[in-house]
């Protein structure tokens, strides 16, 4: 486990759901393989889990493996909605409808014209 449950632990729990640390309230969440992200009721975006490929969006990594066991703010303070996580990356729209992505980018899935992993949201390039 890499903190994907966001309950402050790295324990595996397969029997029943757990409450996210600090009883945070979300209006939307999305889970990847080793991380998750959510939009809080106030509009802020937070992620949790493994930082190895930058998928948490907190500026940690890529290449640095830390378990964020509770939700941490995504760098730059942008509100996003909706949000969607792939296996090791996340993409979301800001209020103006512009797409941003962060995390693993080996196949160019972040859409920023590179194959460099990103630990903070980067704008998707226009076609």
80-102 pLDDT, tens digit per residue, is: 888 999 999 999 999 899 999 99
Q: What's the pTM?
A: 0.83
Burial class (CB in 10 A: 0-12, 13-18, 19+), 74: buried
Query: Are 11 and 3 spatial neighbours (Cβ–Cβ below 8 Å)?
Result: no
Domain 21-123 has CATH 3.20.10.10: no
Integer Cα distance of 25 and 38 in angstroms: 9
Integer Cα distance of 5 and 46 in angstroms: 13
Query: Are 118 and 54 spatial neighbours (Cβ–Cβ below 8 Å)?
Result: yes
13-56 pLDDT, tens digit per residue, is: 555 555 666 677 889 889 998 899 999 888 889 999 888 899 99
Note the pLDDT of residue 78: 75
Domain edges within the chain: 21-123
């Amino acid at each position: 486990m890499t903190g994907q449950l966001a309950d402050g632990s790295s324990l595996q729990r397969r029997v029943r759901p757990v409450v996210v640390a600090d009883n945070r309230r979300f209006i939307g969440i999305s889970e990847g393989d080793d991380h998750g992200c959510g939009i809080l009721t106030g509009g802020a975006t937070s992620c949790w889990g493994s930082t190895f490929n930058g998928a948490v969006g907190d500026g940690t990594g890529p290449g640095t493996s830390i378990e964020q066991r509770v939700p941490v703010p995504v760098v730059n303070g942008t509100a996003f909605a909706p949000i969607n996580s792939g296996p090791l990356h996340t993409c979301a729209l800001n209020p103006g409808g512009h797409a941003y992505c962060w995390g693993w980018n080996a196949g160019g899935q972040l859409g920023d014209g590179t194959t460099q992993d990103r630990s903070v949201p980067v704008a998707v390039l226009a076609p």
